[in-house]
Amino acid sequence: MKKPWIAFILNFIVAGAGFAYLGKWAWAGVNFVAAIAIGLLVYHFSPDSLNTASVIVAAASATFAMTTAKTMNAKMTPQPVAAPRS
């Protein structure tokens, strides 16, 4: 079981790190490249809003990593088996 809050913090600090913690290496790479690409686009078109955009991208990315961790944990939790009908 992975801790969703660790995935959130890692991904907030460095894009993709939360997914790497979860073992989702492809998602980690995609997340890192996407965050860099969005940053470059924002810098090109509106350099003054780069700080705000960086925080928004980091928060959204971190939330996605946290949700992924919760989903992974839910799939690992054993589901109760219904009693056989007589």
Give the pLDDT of residue 86: 67
86 versus 1: the higher-pLDDT residue is 1
Domain ranges of the chain: 4-74
Residue 58 corresponds to which amino acid? A
Could you tell me how many helices (H) and strands (E) the chain has, helices first? 4, 0
Question: Which residue is it, tokens 């700080």?
Answer: 51
Give the pLDDT of residue 20: 97
How sure is the predictor about 83, in pLDDT bands with cuts at 50, 70 and 90?
confident
